[in-house]
Amino acid sequence: MFLQDFLEYLSVIKNRSKHTVLSYENDLNQFLEYCDRVYELSELSEINHLIIRSWIMEMKSKNISNASINRKISALKTFYKFLIRKEVVSKNPMAKVQTLKRSKRLPAFVPKSKMEYLVESDLIKSDFCELRDDLIVELLYITGIRRNELQNLKVQDVDKYRSEIKVIGKGNKERRCPVSTEFIQKLEVYLSAMSEEFGALEHDYIFVTNKGKEIYPKLIFNIVTKKLKAINACAKTSPHVLRHTFATHLSSNGAELNAVKELLGHASLAATQVYTHNSIERLQKEYKKAHPLGE
């Protein structure tokens, strides 16, 4: 099977992140497992578009979202382009496979009042983990960075004189995220507490586990979920909700869409446009309230 060659191509030639490569690997392994389980096929040349469509239908029957299915379809399309180039297969079955229509659901976000209550906590904490958890939630909200971007932050990525943090996003693209001087002060208190708690560490990661090891995605998820559930913020409680909240609050307060795009690290403006929903709703309310024929 040519899966490992493809994954190496993504990592080395295309310079995709570990997170992206792992996502491709999981999606493609699920597809290959389905072909073997249902059709007893292991040869890539024997797989046609009807088999791929049947896999899509099985996922639909399991209530997997169209967005998740489309991601898997995209992974397959990239994989088959690679196989065609390597002359492993002569025909591309993905040519007859279309992506599914995505429902235009508005992103979940935390109301401003609840978010302010969550981050306006005392600077002094008796427990190192409490200080870390508060800082994680605040940083996700004030920068809109992704969970894996937060996980990979190192001490040298912080420029306290410019009050900004260097972030490595998708495709290893670098961007600078501004933060407040107050946050820099909180960060310095946290780093000092971490030094007292663990002494000299073998790594430079900012956020660590209870034992001083590099923090991992599930722990970040658990920390954010616990904090958001404590204030009954919204139905969803993942770290990505804080990214949505960051963008929605910026947009509703008049930030230009291109500025929001740059801060989020989006490659396309289309991905950012969803965050204008709150501003449009606010304008509609003002129109209905103020215009004689608004109702």
Q: Is it the case that residue 123 has pLDDT exceeding 60?
A: no
| pLDDT tens for each residue of 192-240 | 999 999 999 999 999 999 999 999 999 999 999 999 988 887 778 889 9
Any idea which residue has 């999981």 for tokens? Answer: 26
Residue-wise pLDDT for 125-166, tens only, equals 668 899 999 999 999 999 999 999 999 999 999 999 999 999
- Domains located in the chain, CATH noted: 3-96 (1.10.150.130), 112-285 (1.10.443.10)
Q: What is the pLDDT of residues 2-24, one digit of tens each?
A: 889 999 999 998 888 888 999 99
Catalytic: 285?
no
Residue 113 pLDDT class (50, 70, 90 cuts): confident
Asked if 146 is an active-site residue, the reply is yes
* pLDDT of 176 higher than 60: yes
Quick check: 181 pLDDT over 90?
yes
Q: Is 91 a residue of the active site?
A: no
Please provide the size of the chain in residues.
295
Which residue is catalytic, options 19, 71, 125, 240? 240
Residue 266 appears among annotated catalytic residues: yes
From 114, 170, 175, 277, active-site residue: 170
**Does the annotation count 277 as an active-site position?**
no
Q: Which of 19, 160, 213, 266 is catalytic?
A: 266
Q: Catalytic residue among 243, 244, 249, 261, which?
A: 243
- Choosing from 132, 146, 186, 249, the catalytic residue is 146
Q: Which of 9, 24, 80, 275 does the annotation list as catalytic?
A: 275
